[in-house]
Structure 1
């Protein structure tokens, strides 16, 4: 594909990030608009001034939400061992000092994908599917961070000096099990490689509805609400994150459905999906 500078500039003017992926379908470069919000300067200053205790409390809530999502998915699949995850989610402390995120992952992947599975960002097959889905979610969170007037390089937990989107990597964590659910269903139906139809299913995942404080919002809007609530937390000095509830078993089944958009919205399948 050939890009012109004009195309990149026009997309930036409209607040659109461009994510470039490598051969393993993980992001290797991203362009973001420099002016993502009318109050960006003040919000970035609040972000810079956020205390370490506040960042640790924010991370505790994110990790707890991620583990709760993992347990909810396992329970919806009827997998023995899912009952441990709500207890682990409740035990997460400030800054996740006990590293319960990693402890949960060590239980989660063998239960969901089988004892022989190993998460490898550079591998092909199942891992490539996961990488692509995570790239979609990461780009969604990066867009939300820019729209909220926050600086994507200033994470609350991720802090690699070479990571320009550390904050997006923080916020994407609770969304990851949605990708896991879709990949799990793909494997059950025999899909192990990426093609245009499979990529379309990942793209449509951001339209899946989530419940936040009694209201229903698509994943894309849930990411925006989470980023705005993070900005608000930086401003007031208290953790007030708008995190979504785990889906019900019926909703988890919809996440993995081949015709996700039709099941979620009642609309007929598109010509691209039928192709």
Structure 2
């Protein structure tokens, strides 16, 4: 981490203290380059014979090389795995492998690399070896650069080491770099959010989009009763008995969603867990009842702050007010954008007033009251957005919003969409390091992902309701996709498949972020929102404001 700290203190803190890490093309290439030196072992490397000045004879002395040498020293407070140690008689020097080309700078390399190899040299000295220099080997240009451990470099190394320890003790995330070119190729930029953080803290400079617009990996849903998911090479294959139903490449799967009586082999579980991809377990109707994942996120400090905030009524109230105000604002804008002229004008002002009142509320129960009032106005006019299926619209107008059980096709779609959205937010919360069951607005209850429900509120109209209206108006869902029993309406398996396709398309839809100004998919917005909440809880951002569309 010393290299990272000299390069960017925030990067080192995120990796070392908060346990964050993510791969990109550069880190993967570096891992491949390091494969040859990561295997513990040694070899004698022959050298060109040199003439002995006394005897005049030529003698070739082999150079002993040790690979992947792990050393530590309590006095220095350092632990290192040295790529290569070269032993030449009584002299040793560490060799650090770099994937890129040698930079043409005055000292042969930049300070982060020089400090890293110097720290390795100090460890060798602490173990009794004579070590006055090290080597940086740049694989990209096949060049070796010698680094002398002079007093200036040793002083810089020890000073940076002391600063790193101090930052870790204080548990204060260092500020992000200011519009630095280093951030462009940093694998942790989507986690660090350097430009977004500075912008929200008042720097005034519009952020660059340093994260991909979309993940290009999507959930794999399996709902065929009795189906079995198997792994073959780099693919997941779905079988019903001996019949192969389909397959997907593992790298293109973000999570495996098993709906109802569906199972997967142990090889599937091991592969997905090793890659950090969750397996989500749903009932056949879409009710979330479990998530199988690897070890919890290492950022314990975030969960500690989450518990403190949830136990603080004032902090919870501030977050709850922002969540409900954003939800009501998005509901109003969704109606205004999509309803025929004049069809919803009578409720827009009421929803706006409810949003404003929720932001000023002094009690969480009052917030819930304003949410309920605004929600009734919203659902009373939602049917006006349905244009291609008057039967669905009329039944929804007559029934209103009903659930457990839903009593008409629109309510059945809304309930299923909200379940899918809650599942998506639950996995996002887990990936960021939150406890999805401890929220600030929704009261904790057994098996209820309260935080996921909190964060999804602002996106109900933007993602779930929008997907429902679109699926109906485009003719993707019709009367044949529902089954009615004893006053309850539910989707058929075919209807669920159709709607999930439409729902995932909605999550992958790219929009211009109203605050940051760059194009980004809703699926990626979820992660950004979750990370901004984490920054707020950890004290870096003064407020948390969920996204509201324009």
- Please give the range of the TM-score, normalised by the shorter of the 2 chains: 0.7 to 0.9
How much has 1:20 moved relative to structure 2? Answer: 2.5
Q: Deviations over 1:114-158 (max 9, x none)?
A: 531332143262233223322332222122211221111211122
Question: Distance in 1 between the 2:472 and 2:461 partners?
Answer: 15
Give the superposed CA RMSD: 2.3
Deviation of 1:24 after TM superposition, in Å, equals 2.9
**Unaligned 5+ residue runs, structure 1?**
248-275
SS of the residue corresponding to residue 126 of structure 1 reads: helix
What is the aligned partner in structure 2 of residue 214 from structure 1?
Answer: 516
For residue 53 of structure 1, what is the aligned residue in structure 2? 314
- 1:204 paired with 2:514, answer no
Alignment of 1:159-198 (within 5 A): 159-178=443-462, 179-190=464-475, 191-192=477-478, 193=481, 194-198=495-499
Question: Is it true that 1:138 corresponds to 2:443 in the alignment?
Answer: no
Bigger shift: 109-118 or 170-179?
109-118
Say which SS state the counterpart of residue 538 (structure 2) adopts. Answer: helix
Using the alignment, how far apart are the partners of 1:8 and 1:196 within structure 2? 24
CA distance, structure 1, for counterparts of residue 426 and residue 496 of structure 2: 24
SS of 1:20's equivalent?
A: strand
CA–CA distance in structure 1, aligned partners of residues 314 and 472 of structure 2: 41
Per mean C-alpha deviation after superposition, the further-off stretch among 121-130 and 173-182 is: 121-130
Offset, 1:160:
3.6
Q: Give yes or no for contact 1:17–1:139 (8 Å, CA) kept in 2.
A: no
> What does residue range 36-115 of structure 1 map to in structure 2 within 5 Å?
36=297, 38=298, 40-50=299-309, 51-76=312-337, 77-78=339-340, 79-80=344-345, 81-92=347-358, 93-98=361-366, 99-113=369-383, 114-115=396-397
CA distance in 2, matches of 1:164, 1:33: 21
The corresponding residue for 2:207 is none
- Taking a change above 3 Å as real, the CA distance of residues 239 and 112 of structure 1, as seen in their structure-2 partners, is farther
- In the superposition, relative to structure 1, how do residues 181 and 214 fare at CA in structure 2: closer, same or farther (>3 Å)? same
Unaligned segments of structure 2, at least 5 residues:
1-226, 228-262, 384-395, 482-494
Partner of 2:389: none
Aligned to 2:271: 10
Deviation, structure 1 residue 176: 0.6
Q: Give, in angstroms, the shift of residue 11 of structure 1.
A: 2.3
In 2, Cα distance between the equivalents of 1:243 and 1:214? 13
Q: 1:9 to 1:237 in 2, by over 3 A?
A: same
Q: TM-score scaled to structure 1, two decimals?
A: 0.79
Relative to total residues, which structure has the larger helix share, 1 or 2? 1
Structure 1 segment 244-259 matched on structure 2, within 5 A: 244-247=547-550
d(CA) in 2 for partners of 1:10, 1:170: 31
Aligned residue in 2 for 1:273: none
Question: Does the residue aligned with 2:289 lie in a helix, a strand or coil?
Answer: strand
Counterpart Cα distance in 2 of 1:19 and 1:95:
35
The 1:96/1:103 distance shift into structure 2, 3 A limit, reads farther
Q: Distance in 1 between matches of 2:363 and 2:273?
A: 34
1:228 is the counterpart of 2:531: yes
The 3-state SS of whatever aligns with 1:83 is: helix
Say how many residue pairs are matched.
Answer: 245
Alignment partner, residue 148 of structure 1:
432
Q: 1:224 to 1:187 in 2, by over 3 A?
A: same
Deviates more, 1:151-160 or 1:26-35: 26-35
Conserved in 2, the CA contact under 8 Å of 1:67 and 1:89? yes
